[in-house]
Amino acid sequence: MINIAKPGGQSDTARFNWPQPKCLRFVLIAVATGILAQTAHAQDRTVDLLRTLSEAPAPSGFEEPVRKIMVHELSPYSDKITYDGLGSVIARQGDHGPRIMLDAHMDEVGGMVRHVTHDGFLSMQMLGGVLDQALPDQKWIIIGSKGYVHAVTGLRDGHGMSPDERGKIFPADTIFLDIGAKSEADVAAMGIEAGDPVAPDTNFAVLNGTQRYVGKAWDDRVGCAVLVEAMRRLKASGHPNQIFFAATTQEEVGLRGAHSAADVIKPDIGIAIEGGVTGDTPGRTAFNSQVKLGAGPGLFLFDTSALPGRRLVAMTRDTAKEKSVPLQLDLVSGYGDDSAEIQKSSGGVPTVNLVVPVRYTHAHYGVMDRADFDSMVDLVVALLQKLDAKTVARLRDFTPEP
């Protein structure tokens, strides 16, 4: 402790003279500038991470661009990185205690080239639940043998449409990619062939100076970013367990990477981090979703693929309350997540699915809120720090009470 004397006097325990007012102003300005610089650095780090993850093209089965990012980001904080047979990244932190699996998937909805027409147009096989109405008049990236090729999905000219067609949604099998080619030979010269992956071409942006970010693939690149930030914090603070940070593959086409990763990890507890849906836009109701953007992370009590572990749900709610983290509860039909496969592994695993709310999922442009992301990281870190051997044993004990 440093006891500083007041101006005009001298403390017996003073370690240095009181600065003159002008000097003091410089000191305070320097301290404040340093604090602001640290805050700005943390802000920039998170924004840069979210931008990099969002903009990477990686539809299901073609996750390599995101896999490279995740390995780069997780390596400094992990004790060991391995992979399952489908390409999921498994980064372990800690070497004793319960085995906790923290999951987020790397893939996004997209497509692959299905057929090349004689005049150079491309049809698509969709990967994942892409809405037909989200396909026309959009920019895309095709990952070909010679690199990225830019494409657009055309929109039929309104001057040539009948009145009935103007209000019609055109199905995916009638939509074609235009890459500027005039023939099959032109397409081949660009390094494009059937089977090449296709992803939305969308740039990340901070939405008009707010704390809301627009980009593609928040389902589930926002979860991938949570894994990175949680692992970074836990490296410094420590935890009483082995945590396996699993960035999984092929979620959008059947939760496949979570299945294979869980086979490798053999978790005692599973926590999935997802990009959730919201019910706060015009035309939506609480029946669709009870989650709102900017009101905190969400906890699923039900979705079509999984029911969470009731004790783990209670622990998550208690932890959020203890840490003053706003937590929303939701029940969503027509939704599946990786926790469904994790909970069926190794003879049964208590799981929960936690979501960062996202508007407009499975489309070229989604919107997330920075405060929801930060609160999710706070909650996940606090939850993982509480999952010691005794707690995990209690969560897994189904012995009836006398």
Is the link from the previous residue into 220 a cis peptide, with omega within 30 of 0? yes
With CA atoms as reference, report the closest residue to 262 among 340, 335, 315. Answer: 340
Q: H helices within 302-352, ranges in order?
A: 310-322, 339-343
Structure tokens at 73: 């980001």
Cβ atoms of residues 280 and 358 within 8 Å: no
Catalytic annotation on 251?
A: yes
- Reading the block at residue 264, the tokens are 């490798």
Q: Which DSSP string corresponds to 120-155?
A: SEEEEEEES---GGGSTT-EEEEEETTEEEEEEE--
Burial of 246 (0-12, 13-18, 19+ CB in 10 A): buried
Q: Which helix (H) or strand (E) holds 243?
A: strand 242-248
Q: What angle do CA 302, 305, 307 make, to 5 degrees?
A: 40
CA 145 from centroid of its chain's CA atoms: 28
Tell me the C-alpha distance between 195 and 188, whole Å.
13
List 251, 252, 274, 341, catalytic entry: 251
Q: Show the DSSP H helices in 276-369 as ranges.
A: 310-322, 339-343
Neighbours of 193 (CB within 10 A): 15
- Torsional class of 342: left (φ above 0), alpha (ψ -120 to 50), beta (otherwise): alpha
User: Could you tell me if 388 and 241 are in contact, meaning their C-beta atoms sit under 8 angstroms apart?
Assistant: yes
Asked if 200 and 56 touch (Cβ cutoff 8 Å), the reply is no
Question: CB under 8 Å, gap of 24 or more: what pairs does 228-231 form?
Answer: 228/49, 228/70, 228/73, 228/74, 229/46, 229/49, 229/377, 230/102, 230/377, 230/380, 230/381, 230/384, 231/74, 231/77, 231/78, 231/91, 231/93
Catalytic residues: 251
